[in-house]
Amino acid sequence: MQGTNQWRGKFGPLITTTCALAGLVLWLSLSLCSAAYATQASPALTVAAFPAMDEIVRAAIPAWKKIHPDIDVNVVSLQIADHHSAMTTALLTGSHLPDVMALEFGYLGRFAQGGGLEDLAAPQYGMRNYQALYVPYAIAQATSKTGTIAAAPSDIGPGTLLYRADLLARAHVTEAELNGSWDSFVEAGIKIKKATGAYLVSHVQDVTDTMIRVGCKPGEGLYFDAQSHVLVKSARFVRAFQIAKKVRDNHLDAKMTHWSTEWTESFKRGTLATQLSGSWLAGHLGNWMAPNTAGLWRAAQLPEHSWAGFGGTFYAIPKNIPEQQKQNAWKLIQFLTQNPQIQLASFKEQNAFPALLSTYNDPFFDEPIPFLGGQKARLIWREAAGHIQAISVHKQDKFAEEVINTELDKVLDQGKDINAALDDAYRLLEKRAFR
């Protein structure tokens, strides 16, 4: 679910705000939280979230109240980047903390290793007793090298290749050509561009962001291994840069920023043939981004069966809140992440692909998706979810992402040698790895 990783905004467009406005919104929101503590006779819980996690929690409150009528739940929401900035500040200062904190995967590393979150593997939570309930890689992503579990997974983003079937037909390109290999993906793009004028991808970073997620060894992250050694000179980065350069050299990427007006318009106008993304994007396309293109899109596995995850959301508990609130917060997290009805409702209403394995045999997965021409695409995404390997998180992941994207730009725009670019990225990350 986003150069920064374009999928950070998986639940909707990021809204850029000034520091002053973000600060005002945050102050007002946290003031409301404080007021809730002061006025509620019952031990109300405050959940800090972002779109559409806020809607997921709000929708679950009526069912929660049937089980826990004495525990109210208040939801405070900011846009995704502002939310994570606010939570960073709250953890650092120990003030205005929520009881439950929603975290997006891209930000999980810095929070998990910051020391401000409860270890859900501790006896009072016993998360290890429940880990078999979830998709294995999701739990592993929230587990540190010392065995602590910083958060419980709510949803995941199985990677998929969404493509315009009508454009492929006009170019006489088959799905097998499109996703057989990364090289055939580029060759198919050349045919599509020649026949239709449509770009293959919105930006070459779509390709690199996907390819670097494949081939990590157990215990490794995207950019660092378990001992914080830098990995960016490995074969997966070299090949990702090579394929990205091939895409750019053939003018197959539109150089568009995700969630921009230009990007959303490209879906409506048929000027973009494919999108590498999490499965959630299909819902966005059908619901609000390009509903006029219903029936023209299909879903497939990523090229070379590159099993990769795009995003995912977790719930965590801050350390510096009252003990009673911690226990109630844990009850709420269990309710949101271990209740099949709640997980399925989130999937149906918000396209939040469940992390809870017991939902995977629900008939909803077998239902055809009209927007995808009646394709039973949820079965494709379920298969992908079963193959995705865990990627360890590191507190410097976001900085590393920026460094890699900067070096990729130098390769594509300035002709910098790929190995030289990765060498420079390596040296810079080596200085930050152990901070």
**What are the DSSP calls for 287-349, one per residue?**
III-GGGTTSEEEEPPGGG---EEEEEEEE-BSSS-HHHHHHHHHHHHHHHH-HHHHHHHHHH
HSE, CB side, 13 Å, CA atoms: give it for residue 152.
Answer: 32
* Helical ranges in 147-234 per DSSP H: 165-170, 175-179, 182-196, 204-211
Q: Can you give the pLDDT at residue 147?
A: 87
CB 293 within 8 A of CB 140: no
Domain 158-308+391-432 has CATH 3.40.190.10: yes
Q: Can you give the pLDDT at residue 110?
A: 82
Within 8 A by CB and 6+ apart from 263, the residues are 202, 256, 257
CB 158 within 8 A of CB 347: no
CATH homologous superfamily of 6-157+310-377 equals Periplasmic binding protein-like II (3.40.190.10)
The percentage of residues in the chain with a pLDDT greater than 70, rounded to a whole number, is 90
Amino acid at 158: P
Q: Can you give the pLDDT at residue 42?
A: 56
Q: What is the mean pLDDT of each run of 10 residues along the chain (435 residues)?
A: 35 34 42 44 86 96 97 96 95 94 89 89 97 92 87 96 98 98 98 98 96 89 91 97 98 95 96 96 94 97 94 95 96 98 96 97 98 98 94 87 97 98 97 81
CB 348 within 8 A of CB 140: no
What is d(CA 198, CA 190) in angstroms, rounded to the nearest whole number? 10
What is d(CA 155, CA 52) in angstroms, rounded to the nearest whole number? 12
- DSSP conformation letters of 243-265: HHHHHHHTT-B--PPTTSHHHHH
Amino acid at 429: L
Q: Can you give the pLDDT at residue 30?
A: 46
pTM for the complete prediction?
Answer: 0.86
Look up residue 285 and give its DSSP letter. I
* Tens-digit pLDDT profile for residues 326-351: 999 999 999 999 999 999 999 999 99
Domain with CATH 3.40.190.10 in the chain: 6-157+310-377, 158-308+391-432
